[in-house]
Structure 1
Amino acid sequence: MTSEHAAFIGLDTSKLKISVAIAEGERNGEVRFLGDISSEPTSVAALVKKLAKRGVKLHFCYEAGPTGYGLYRQIVELGHECSVVAPSLVPKRAGDRVKTNRRDAISLARLHRAGELTPVWVPDEAHEAIRDMVRARDAAFEAQKQARQQLNSFLLRHGRYYTGRKAWTRAHGRGWHLKRSIIPRIKFCSPNIVRLLRVPEFVLID
């Protein structure tokens, strides 16, 4: 099917709504804004169904971002092509600094028709789950590291410090410098410190 028998749809996505624009397949074909729809899957399905009645091949695209890949998967499952593109590689016109949802959707549709967008790899749900787990794990370790630093500083200010070989072990938790007498003061510190004292690997023992 040639581009004359295709339509290119640019989607500017956000949490609650999607701005939609369409570029007709011809090189100099019309590019117009269709409006905003809810980001709910039912609204997306209704949009796709309506556009499919045109009887041309549909090519959707939107920028990668915080809304994730659910929209991509839904469109593909409905039998249409969809590209998730890298925002940093979207061509910008010189001097064009005004950004609106409408203009961004129109720009995406036009650039998609011209073949000037760079798609990113879209992970399947299994890969995405692993990626999310790794990110959550890294964030948890970073939060734990910061909490430990805060706790060490707090204890040092109160004349308590650990002299053993390896800190943050059960032996550390049994250290004389971590008695319940100082716990009331800890409650007024960062919540991260309080949470740290409750994790299994570091149990306070009176």
Structure 2
Amino acid sequence: MNNCSIIFIGLDTHKIFTQLAVLKDERGAKPESFGKINTNKAAFIKLARQLQSKYPKATLHFIYEAGPCSYWIYRLLTSLGHCCYIVAPSLIPKKSGDRVKTDKRDAAKLALLFKAETLTTIYVPEPEDEAIRDLSRARETAMKDLKDAKFQLKGVFLRNNIKCAVKDNWSNKHLRWLTELVLPHPSQQIVLQEMIQTITERMKRVTRLVNELEHQVKQWRYYPVVKAVQAMRGVKAVQAMRGVRMLVAVGTIAELGDLRRFDHPRKLMAYLGLVPSESSSGDTRRLGKITKCGNGRARRLLIEGAQTYKHKANISTELQKRQEGLSKVIVDIAWQAQLRLCRRYQRLMQKGKHRNVVVTAIAREIIAYIWAISREVVITPIDPRTRISRLPA
């Protein structure tokens, strides 16, 4: 009875509990509810032991949706020697007439669809890679908070018809001017002082996170890729590959992980949603807007980097210093990218294309050159025996 080769276990995970469904790898088998367990480490270890005892000759395959529970369940189950997969919720097939949704049905649906090979699994980063990604996202969140505080202060000035006497916004001279500013009402003065203090604190927070990110990334296993990507020229002091600053390079690699898992750059472009949508039938082929699927933050970082290719290609002194120590192959790829993308930007603009369309086309090719550079860099693999997984109790 329990001699199946594979057992599929669907997990509908929540913060407090997880609903289970078990499906045997047999013709005509239907998912069976396996109850609920608490969403913690001890409960999953006990569950794995129970299922292994019940199906001693079978291989256990756990499936759950990507969500706020992140990857710790995956890492725990794989560390116990079982197969675990995380699927993309947006790519789960759904019937148009299916109006009943429960935890039991969701768990059973995951097991059934995974057995039918109709689910798309996602890439799971290593804990060290995820930590760098969290730090990069924290810096971006701090930047957003800082911008929001600045916009609020500008709103106060606009409502009170206050003109700034300093052209260099948010410099030390501008901050001193803000502290000397006197508003007509005491309540407004309190609001002004609170906003100035908030902006000052958030500027320090951004500086701390940037410094910490620059320090931590040098100890990261993907730092050689980040350093190589910066071989492509930029227009600011912190840029190297054109349009790719250190922070942009770190953010892109941290979001995408190991680019070598894509055997062709077109697959990476499609993964980021930078390819046009298509609706073709017969002899008619219609292309629409980009799909915008995949990682939105990585796509936005590439769009930001593509803005700088409107300038002419050249090698600055600062870029030359960054390229020192890199292999000739990487330097040649970076120079080839500059020549092609700068020329392509101007050619598309002369054809009358909208600037957003041009920038998106450049971003699509940037990721192809980053893919090519990443394949020329040797990355030290993580030894599973020395990996330290910090799982929640």
Secondary structure of residue in 1 paired with 2:45: helix
**Corresponding position of 1:179:** 180
Shift of 1:125: 0.8
Give the whole-Å Cα distance in 1 for the aligned partners of 2:111 and 2:83: 13
Structure 2, unaligned stretches of length 5 or more? 205-393
**Corresponding position of 1:118:** 120
Give the whole-Å Cα distance in 2 for the aligned partners of 1:170 and 1:30: 69
Shift of 1:180: 7.3
Q: How do residues 46-61 of structure 1 correspond to structure 2 at under 5 angstroms?
A: 46-53=46-53, 54-55=55-56, 56-61=58-63
Shift of 1:95: 0.7
Secondary structure of residue in 2 paired with 1:35: strand
Give the whole-Å Cα distance in 1 for the aligned partners of 2:151 and 2:13: 40
**Corresponding position of 2:170:** 168
CA RMSD of aligned residues (A): 2.3
Matched, 1:39 2:39: yes
Give the whole-Å Cα distance in 2 for the aligned partners of 1:200 and 1:26: 60
Shift of 1:166: 1.2
Instruction: Give the percent of matched residue pairs that are identical in Structure 1 and Structure 2.
Output: 37
Give the whole-Å Cα distance in 1 for the aligned partners of 2:203 and 2:142: 14
Verify the 8 A CA contact 1:63 1:87 in the aligned structure 2. Answer: yes
| Higher normalized helix content (fraction of residues) | 2
| Higher normalized strand content (fraction of residues) | 1
**Corresponding position of 2:356:** none
Give the whole-Å Cα distance in 2 for the aligned partners of 1:114 and 1:10: 13
Counterpart code for 1:96:
D
TM-score, normalisation: structure 2: 0.47
**Corresponding position of 2:325:** none
**Corresponding position of 1:5:** 5
TM-score, normalisation: structure 1: 0.86
Shift of 1:4: 3.5
Structure 1, unaligned stretches of length 5 or more? 202-206
Secondary structure of residue in 1 paired with 2:46: helix
Verify the 8 A CA contact 1:23 1:30 in the aligned structure 2. Answer: yes
Counterpart code for 2:179:
L
Q: How do residues 133-152 of structure 1 correspond to structure 2 at under 5 angstroms?
A: 133-152=135-154
**Corresponding position of 1:198:** 201
Give the whole-Å Cα distance in 2 for the aligned partners of 1:45 and 1:80: 11
Shift of 1:200: 5.4
Segment of structure 1 superposing worse, 121-130 or 158-167: 158-167
Give the whole-Å Cα distance in 1 for the aligned partners of 2:103 and 2:189: 47
Counterpart code for 1:195:
T
Matched, 1:74 2:61: no
**Corresponding position of 1:99:** 101
Verify the 8 A CA contact 2:146 2:202 in the aligned structure 1. Answer: no
How many residue pairs end up in the alignment?
Answer: 197
- Is the alpha carbon distance of 1:131 and 1:198 closer, same or farther for their aligned partners in structure 2, counting shifts above 3 Å? closer
Give the whole-Å Cα distance in 2 for the aligned partners of 1:185 and 1:9: 60
